[in-house]
Amino acid sequence: MEVTLTDQVKLALTAGALGVALSFLWDATRIIRRVARCGKAATVTADVLFFCACAVIDFVFILGWSDGRVRMFILLSQMFGFTLYQLTLGPPLFRLTEGIIRVILNI
- For residue 1, the model assigns a pLDDT of 59
Provide the whole-model pTM. 0.86
- For residue 74, the model assigns a pLDDT of 94
Tell me if 28 sits within 8 A of 19, measured CB to CB: no
User: Residues for the chain: how many in total?
Assistant: 107
Judged against a pLDDT cut of 90, whether residue 106 lies above it is answered with no
Could you report the per-residue pLDDT of 61-99, keeping only the tens digit for each?
999 988 888 899 999 999 999 999 999 999 999 899 988
Tell me if 35 sits within 8 A of 99, measured CB to CB: no
Judged against a pLDDT cut of 90, whether residue 37 lies above it is answered with no
Mean pLDDT value across the chain: 91
Write the CA distances from 28 to 1, 40, 52, 54, integer angstroms: 39, 18, 16, 14
Q: What does the pLDDT average to over 31-56?
A: 91
